[in-house]
Amino acid sequence: MTELVTVNEEIRDLKEGLAANGYLADDDLAVALYLAENLEKPLLVEGPAGVGKTELAKAWARLRQCRLIRLQCYEGLDESKALYEWNYQKQLLYIQVESLAQQGWETGRQQIFDQEFLLKRPLLMALTSADPVVLLIDEIDKSDQEFESFLLEALSDWQVTVPELGTIKAVTRPHVVLTSNSTRELGDALRRRCLHFYIDYPDFDRELAIIELNAPDIDGKFARQLVEFVQNIRKQPLKKPPSVTESIDWVQSVKLLSGELTAEMARVTLSALLKYTKDRELVIKKLPYLIQP
């Protein structure tokens, strides 16, 4: 894959541009993002929580200097929260004006269901934006299957249907990133409409590069020792292995308190790395074996 990235100047520039905006993408991810951008296809990114899926969309928006519109998914999310709802207060105010009484109800009914009274939510904002945007549909696996089905029209035909107004087509096709922590299996219909990429926990060299990017003044030998410790912890039978975000927080915590990693320093800072008491207790028992000199 490295050969392909080297040969294709646009992919190389994309990878370097992401790095300049604080995101280290490997070659395969750079290719996936390049294809999503040029084929105008949504990119579905799966992987454990905290490995950089959401940050990818943010870095992409910064790189392209466009607005990031985020739709945070959750159980019970419906189209009124994702697409639109009517501004009922404004409609009622209009109904009460004297001009409506003179025009008659039928004329008034047609006018109150106008885009002037429409409150746009993230999905409709993205489709009706005149300028390119990055639409982040975050943690799609937390929504239900009905909402997933609702998205299909927007992600395949770049349009949505508002019953009172009809079909609204995208003014400019947004760049779309969907993220999933795989808490439930996504449907085949959604997957067919997307390109797919899986981001796993980084290997030693990549995590070291991420740490050095986020803590540029850290001593190289010290950074390697800290990353080795995090990598060793992920091999333990934990309820929740530390994410990349938590790894960065922990490294910065240790660096702030001391320039040396000892068992005691690891113990007092583990709350930045591990978020479950039983996980911390397990690691504390093994600290003498987990810390490399």
- Is the predicted pLDDT of residue 203 greater than 50, yes or no? yes
Q: Write down the pLDDT at residue 259.
A: 75
- Is the predicted pLDDT of residue 266 greater than 50, yes or no? yes
Residues in Cβ contact with 232 at an 8 Å cutoff, skipping those fewer than 6 apart: 290, 292
Nearest to 75 by CA among 151, 143, 152: 143
The pTM score is 0.85
* Between residues 291 and 267, the one the model is more confident about: 267
- List, for residues 221-241, the tens digit of each pLDDT value: 999 999 999 999 999 999 999
Q: Write down the pLDDT at residue 114.
A: 56
- List, for residues 106-164, the tens digit of each pLDDT value: 555 555 555 666 778 899 999 999 999 999 999 999 999 999 999 999 999 999 887 77
Two tokens, residue 22: 């604080």
Nearest to 291 by CA among 243, 239, 233, 205: 233
- List, for residues 77-109, the tens digit of each pLDDT value: 988 788 876 544 444 555 555 455 565 545 555
Q: Write down the pLDDT at residue 291.
A: 83
Could you tell me the pLDDT band of residue 8, with boundaries at 50, 70 and 90?
A: confident
Considering the chain, what percentage of its residues have pLDDT values greater than 70? 86
Alpha-carbon span 46 to 51, nearest angstrom: 10
